Amino acid sequence: MCRWIVYVGEQSLMLEDLLIRPDHSIVKQVNNRFLPGLYYGLEESDQEELKKQATWINVHGFGVGWYTDTLAEFDPSVHGMQPAQFRTIAPISTDLAFSQLCAHTASKCTLAHIRDASFPPVVEVNNHPFIFGQYAFMHNGSVADFAPIRFDVMKRISELQTTVQNFFIASSVPNSNYVFNIRGNTDTEHLATLYFAHLDVIKAGILSWDNYPRGGPGGLPIPFGIDSTDALLLALINTINDIHIIQRRRQLGPFTPGNDRAGNKLNLCITDDGNQMLVCRWRDAKEGFPASLYLSLTAGEKLNRKYFPILPDPLNSGDIDNPNVRIESVRELVDRYQTLPPTKQGRHVIVGSEPCTKYVADWGLFDQNQCVIVDKNNKLRIINLAKFFQKGRQHEFEKYHFDDIFNGITSTERNAPAVEIGVPAHDFDLPASKSDAFEAELNL
């Protein structure tokens, strides 16, 4: 399986300190695994499936994206942070250009991805993250049975493209031509393009009638802001729903008769403007578990060389490399975090396919179909993504009726009742940063 990591924080972090220097950095994850707690409590068949996935190595390309405001300093038409990108198919552990880049670059938002190709070719345009304007998108997993449904996905993207063009919606891609801007053949790039087409339509629908004389695509204002994380969430729900509609029609993916382990694996990361993020650990098969995904709210302090010039050794424990030992869930980690003093690194979130440090206490394991959202106000939400697709028991797709959630959005009546989505399962504010006081002390 592919591997990825993302950092979002109020303080910058050197790319080298995040991607190269840690004891289990993403560069080392090309051929090494560290999966604490992944197999705890799972049945043997589920463990064997995850172990098989973990034996694959990631040698099919590397990409890193980082947000910077450099362009905005020189171009008055550009505002805020924009994602820059480096991609290569060279072995990442020996790529001198990558090493130099990381040694002299820092960012408050960094994404990196090593690819294990589902199918060839191994070319740079197939490497993640994929950039769409102010957004970045990366993925670990697969859209099930993508080859036979690729044309249907393209057709759906084209339909959304027509909507965007007809309503003069500000698009994430040049000239609002999503189809033309697909440059590779990966399931991820198609999935990302479908996602951002939905996001553009949603953002236009959020605009009020006064500001949108011709009316949005559905003519219905939705009760959250244009750049809110609820818009990111709704686009993801619509995207997964489209994939399900196509797969259901063709009896593929999670709708494959007689195969309870067939389904989509969508461990996704979407960043917006360098300070908002949506990540999820998703698998919609009736049996089995998604690939690994971990979260930390404290590891950044150990990674930052300003505070730890020498990276501390992992805590001594005979179980540190034992994936059968229980570790905290994301929810438990978050609960404990709220009782801790602020770190010198300030408020930050790191999410990765594997922990990049071996301080296990710094990391929590995502539950299946769990989504974590961080907004521009440093509020973090944990959401059960599956609830938007359930009608009865989880994974019984023949029973759910997704239209029940969105029937109001497609209404043509101006005064139709508002549709609310994204009700948080857990909601808290990250505590105030200690970093300002610490910096003041350094300057004395």
DSSP string for residues in 99-143:
HHHHHT-EEEEEEEEE---SSS---GGGPSPEEETTEEEEEEEE-
SS3 content of the chain, % helix, strand, coil (to 5): 30, 20, 50
Phi, psi of 397 (to 5 degrees): -65, -20
Domains of the chain, first to last: 3-142+268-443 (3.60.20.10)
Cα–Cα dist 57/31, whole Å:
5
pLDDT digit string (tens) for the chain, length 444 residues: 789 999 999 999 999 999 999 999 999 998 889 999 999 989 999 999 998 888 777 778 899 999 999 998 999 888 889 999 999 888 888 889 999 999 999 999 999 999 877 766 878 888 889 999 999 999 999 999 999 999 999 999 998 888 888 776 677 877 778 998 999 889 999 999 999 999 888 877 643 333 333 333 444 444 455 567 888 988 898 899 899 889 999 999 998 999 989 999 999 999 999 999 999 999 988 888 999 999 999 999 999 999 999 888 877 656 677 788 889 999 999 999 988 888 899 999 999 999 999 999 999 999 999 999 999 888 898 988 887 776 543 333 333 233 332 322 232 333 333 333 333 333 444 444 443 433 323 222
Question: Could you give the C-alpha distances from 443 to 13, 112, 436, 437, in angstroms and in order?
Answer: 20, 33, 11, 10
DSSP string for residues in 335-378:
HHHTTSPPPTT-SEEEEESS-SSS-GGG-EEPPTTEEEEE-TTS
Alpha helix (H) ranges present in 207-329?
229-250, 299-303
pLDDT at 318: 60
